[in-house]
Chains A and B, each alone.
Chain A
Amino acid sequence: MPKGMTIAEAILARAGGKARVEPGEIVDAKVDRAMSHDNGALVAKHFAEIGVEKVWDKDRIVLLMDHRVPANDIKTAEGHKKIREFVAKQGIPNFFDIKEGICHQVFPEHGYALPGQLIVGTDSHTTTYGAVGAMSTGIGATEMAGVWATGSLWLMVPKSFKFNVKGKFPKGAYPKDLILKIIGDLKADGADYASCEFYGPAIDAMTVGGRMTICNMSMEMGAKSAICPPDKKVFDYLKGRAKGKYEPVYAAKDAAYEKTFDYDVSALEPMVAAPHTVDNVKPLKDVAGTKINQAIIGSCTNGRLEDLKEGAAILKGKTIYKDVRLIVAPASREVLLAAMKDGTMDIYVRAGAVVINPGCGPCLGAHEGIMAAGERCISSTNRNFKGRMGDPASEVYLASPAAVAASALEGAIADPRGYLK
């Protein structure tokens, strides 16, 4: 008897119109949804080159702007204009202009990410939607032009990895610390081409947002997709959001995983990824005291309400260190509204933070919050590559929002646990 299928295999079998698929097999897969952000302008350019008039299905394409919003230079403005023109010409209904927030937050918030679906996006962190049980993966702009034209693309069925995560998160340790720990163990290519599935009591206990953090950052170890089996939390999250019906997909009991990893979060401590690679992971205490110039809370990894609250709990009633710039970028308009309503934003502004509009903000060093040579930042984002946030001689440390907030108070990398009751 052949073994049963993993979640990724089952989704790709369905999308490829096959009864079953094996790792390594190439399927011609029909996608359920296709997402593009600012680089939609580049996709539109390639789409025009193919020479088809209309996109394959306008209802399945989602377009938004988040990377450089509002436009910061003329080239960006031209790109944004091209997207608006394309949206109007094609009559694409699922379009969000500069106000809405980061693609990976807005897409699930608006119910486009659904369990069991195959989703492609022109962004590497498209893996995020695995938090609701979708198989989602990043592709390039040229390839997306092909998807817009045909609705399908070739995909290799990935091998699957299984992560069993047990234990209860101790104070000061969060899903971000867990995924940093995992990336540090597996390294930047440890999950290349693999689909990572996350199971166990620690995942079950996690919010959908926490699972998004995990699935989002799995990309940093090369994962093609990262998936948590959808549960009641996901179904509750999707209530009133889901665009259309969905059918959750689960792994067969005897599904074959190429590798299995066991983690216990009970003794997890705050972690950081030190410059200049995401897999350069250390316990935060090893670098505590390192001076910083900038601190960032935001991004598709950690810019949700729960993340902002995590930082605010530490900053409440305090003022940040005089020589530090704390930048807060809510992941979406919905997040910003909620954070204004519950007083979270109030805490940040009083503490001395600069609150910027929902979007990618400083994360990719293309818009604002840029650093000069010799400057150092601690950030709740997901990449710390050389030059990622400005001058190649600047440095980025990645950590949880709590660790970022504690560091902003001290002007140096600081352990959040000292601030938590």
Chain B
Amino acid sequence: MKGKVWKYGDDVNTDVILPGRYLSNYDAKFLASHAMEDIDKEFAPNVKQGDIVVGGRNFGCGSSREQAATCLTAAGVQAVVAKSFARIFYRNAINLGLPVIQAPELVEKLQKGDEVELDMEKGTVKLMRTGESVAFKSLPPFIMELLRDGGLIPHLKKQMAEKKGISQP
């Protein structure tokens, strides 16, 4: 899917991705409307389905709030690419079906506003500005399976259904 790049620096923490003052409301659309607002007021009103958030080192450090991943998926973000991730954000994103791609070289190549095409299955990002296609290290198979299922909840549901021997609707 094609999308636009939103680029940020190192140590983007979960307090700025989704500030604590919005945590008591679980409505995903509400959360999306406040995503990133403490570091980028332009993000929430302008982000489009399929856009990609790009960060530097240690993206998603800080609190364990999974709303930091929820607000991004609900805003339409198709993946986060970073030089490295903080571990809880990494897990939360996968559990919520948001692909997280650790690819330092790719981060260097991407600029704010770039149009890109991401293919998770192939493990490539095509950069429209230069026509270049950049490969990244693919995620372990069981994480890809979680992502294909749409996250941990649908994945567990599927597993339970398989255990009971009934097919998925």
Contact = CB atoms under 8 A, between A and B. Distances in A.
A95 interface: no
B66 A366 contact: no
Nearest to A77: B24
A143 B95 contact: yes
A75 B21 CA distance: 12
Contact of A49 (B15, B23, B64, B153): B153
B76 interface: no
A282 B169 CA distance: 58
A123 B64 contact: yes
B78 interface: no
Contacts of A39: 23, 65
A365 B87 contact: no
Which among B64, B86, B157 has the greatest number of chain A C-beta atoms within 10 A?
B64
Contact of B11 (A26, A49, A143, A189): A189
B58 A189 contact: yes
Given A192-B58, A222-B87, A68 B24 contact: yes
A5 to B, nearest CB: 20
A141 B23 CA distance: 12
For chain A, what secondary structure do more than half of its interface residues adopt (helix, strand, loop), or is it mixed?
Answer: loop
B16 interface: yes
B15 A366 contact: no
A140 B39 CA distance: 23
A52 interface: yes
B19 interface: yes
A261 to B, nearest CB: 19
Contacts of A332: none
A93 interface: no
Contact of A388 (B20, B26, B157): B20
Given A46-B153, A222-B87, A388-B15, A364 B20 contact: yes
A50 B95 contact: no
B89 to A, nearest CB: 9
B26 to A, nearest CB: 6
A386 B39 contact: yes
Nearest to B95: A142
B96 interface: yes
Contact of B153 (A75, A142, A192, A279): A142
A145 B155 CA distance: 12
Nearest to B146: A154
Contacts of A143: 66, 91-92, 95, 152
Interface in B1-27: 11, 13, 15-16, 19-21, 23-26
Interface of B: 11, 13, 15-16, 19-21, 23-26, 38-39, 57-58, 61-66, 69, 84, 86-88, 91-92, 95-96, 140, 142, 151-153, 156-157, 160
20 contacts: A41-B26, A49-B153, A50-B156, A79-B26, A126-B64, A138-B88, A139-B88, A140-B65, A140-B92, A142-B66, A146-B156, A189-B84, A189-B86, A192-B86, A222-B61, A277-B13, A364-B20, A366-B24, A386-B15, A387-B15
